[in-house]
Chains A and B, each alone.
Chain A
Amino acid sequence: MAEGESPAQGSRAGGRPSRLRARDRRGPAPEVQATDGAVGESSPSAMLDIRDLRIHFPTDDGLVKAVDGLSFVLDRRRTLGIVGESGSGKSVTSLGILGLYNTGNARMSGKIYLDGEDLVAADQARVRELRGSKMAMIFQDPLSSLHPYYTIGNQIAEAYLIHNKVSKKAARAHAVDMLKRVGIPQAASRIDDYPHQFSGGMRQRAMIAMALSCDPELLIADEPTTALDVTVQAQILDLISDLQQEYDSAVIIITHDLGVVAELADDILVMYAGRMAEYGRSEDIFLHPGHPYTWGLLGSMPRLDRTRMDRLLSIRGTPPSLINVPAGCPFNPRCDYASRTNGRSEKEVPALRQVGPGHLVACHLSTDEQRRIWAERDKVAS
């Protein structure tokens, strides 16, 4: 579709600048540190600084290590895409950041610095204060994620009223405002509609409106477009991008869809079995990925700039159990290249290694080998 145009609704007056240019306006990417669990001061410009985050759930069957040693940094005005298959720990990470596991029986360790403040060590009341106001989240299925019995206006106003002492009337006016901002027509009348009266795309916009009502500095979008039509997907992604620019917020997009990530993310974090597999700028990940899992993901993605292949390459095998994580590299059982590591994959957990500026990979293969293998795959695929 034409870039910048949303066919379903009237485009903004005067068109929009293209995405690429918008991103340029954000400024250069900051240096990304290779953190390997070292605890220290958070970097000054970082909105979010995660250090060795572990989230474990004790269950009757055993300890589920949903997130097992995650570290990354996210600056304002930048977008991080977290990619992985189901069970890789992406949603758990986001919920953990928001502190939604605090009252359960999850065991969280590590550090989560939100604008310099450690959320893991903070007390629950403080985290609740920040939730919705400084950090907000939008969810995958807006129909089930919005309360069916309350109007959209009611729910948005509620979100606003939690963190702002204003009158109900003012909150309502603000809600109308937010609906306008996210591009819902006739906002003043639609504010009294119920979630089921909105179409899928409108609902997701409304959810975004709700999440942004308190002007959060960190926005986490968990599979924001998975439940939507393809045509609507693009609109939503545009919207997120525009709003990020407008509000100067940091955005994390969690998805299993590399297409989404390609649109929006500045940096990409590939997760596998609760651990980081690869991390880097989005160009690096797409053009020269280093981790065999990433290769598999890219290989299984249909691409328009390639000639049509007879079939998509899928990654053989199934995701591992998070209770009995195999020793050594968690991807080892499914890796086609494990044989080239001289058995290290089976015994040793690969550490995150820098393979380029701001590009980290957790793999035993040497950087050269990675490049070589990727070049081969790429050539075969074209």
Chain B
Amino acid sequence: MREAFSLMARRGVFGLAAIGTVGALALAACSSGSSTPTPPPSGFNKATTSVVNPSTHKGGTITFDNSSAPDSTDAGNTYYAFNLNFTRLYATPLTTYQSCPGKCGAGVVPALATSLGTATDGNKTWTFHIKPNVKFEDGTTVTSQDVKYAVERTFDRSVLPNGPSYFATLLAGNAAKYPGPYKDRSKNLMGLTAITTPNATTVVFHLNQPFADFNYVVAFPQTAPVPPNKDTGANYQNHPLSTGPYKFASYQLNKQYVLVPNPQWNPSWDPQVKQLASKIIVNLNVNANDIDNRLMAGDIQVDQAGSGVQAAARAKILSNPSLKANSDDPVNGFMWFYYINSKVPPLNNVHCRMAVEFAANKTNLQTAYGGPYGGSIASTAMPPTVLGYKSFDLYHALSKPGGDIAAAKQQLSLCGHPNGFTTNIAYRSDRPREVASSQALQASLSAAGIKTTLKGYTAANYFGTFAGVPNYVHSHDLGLLAGGWGPDWPDAYGWGWALFDGKAIVPAGNANIGELNDPQVNKWFQEMEAASSQAQRNAISEQIDMQVMKDAVLLPAVYAKALLYRGTGLTNVNVNNYYGMYNYGILGVNQK
């Protein structure tokens, strides 16, 4: 869910606006009283551990504003974190995440399926039974064929390019060559041979490798059923046929879409979502700072992007007790960090990399990412929300958050550069936090003699053209590269495969920017998916985390937190542990 952070870019672009806002809010600050240090008010963070304003009240309108737009409203064509959360209102995948306060919220439970998948053949074959009598909004009954079709259509990347690629890499049979149903010229239009539908309510997935985490894979909305005869391809986003509590009433690309209750829906189809409000409006491409103001003024109820308020509103909220009581600062499952590339000299020597790990001033990095409310100092390669997480601190990030220059210097002698070395720090220049953090990093590294030059790139092509292109990284000596990451699902594989597995390195759009190709780590990822018990998988996760940190290809900065504001009148407000933001499936509003 890297793209979620591209939203931050759009917010940050008018940093100019921030200057103006500071001025504008100076007016506001004058009236909101001084910030006296008091213990956190009782409402603060309440939604991270419990459901705030629980209610079964039906009616009212919930307005969502978003500073950009979803990558697509077509559930089969999306990857943004908030949209995986939001699409459940009209698209029901086979499984989903539990609507439950606390850690249980990261657990995957059946949605369209009657129960979690049955794994056979050493986790290579997965069978799901879908609930009978589930209907689309037009009254037609959902069959297993619709689920198969939904997955098949995502194979045509020329029409639906945005979603995850797990099905393409995991499915056996003709998946590697399958061009999608629009271009399928095979005999009898067999489609994907790896998905079989023995009857109208059974779907069987045949994988090319053992994959214990497959229940997570089908939690992606790509498995939400789509009727083949109503599929309009690139235009399906205008009105996806709903199997959830809401259906599309109107859609204006990049401007607004409106959902109204789906009369066909039955709560038994997906117990994790509710049908409470009588209208849901989503406004797109709204000024980011304006969203915060509208939230606090009560004009809207939710910031759809869910990645937290802007700097100006943050200051306002944290200094005003009554505003703070209405806000939550959850650990949202993301991390900010710096990749340490293992091919660019002299960082190809692990000790030089370790020197960087020791030298960095974690407190200053934390400040750059928003201070204690923006995240807590990280010392591991995986965040605490990931199953199997165990805290450890190889490089004194927690014990010496100001940096350990002595240890850094020791590592420098070990790698043959006792007086330091030079390299470059790459970052996204339209993200104010990354600008600040790279400056902080540069300063702290220079204390150990590591001289760095800052190189900024635009967020839009950061991964496609620069940091995500290994050739470019090598030829431009980008030793340290800013990054952020969110998990595809809350375990080590869903978090780290793309970041740390050698097979994940690709010539462009690469996420394993450290270019780690540790055979042991690669083997562990494989073993994880072959392991049958969660305990085994947790043990492997710990090992992966530890080894990655020993390989020092990641300099963790913070486990991200997002300061969220609860909209006026919202009911059933709870931060879901996996999505890291308010659970959009259960919201209602105290309005008529």
Indicate if A touches B (C-beta under 8 A). no
By a beta-carbon cutoff of 8 Å, the part of chain A in contact with chain B is none
Q: Which residues of B contact A (CB under 8 A)?
A: none
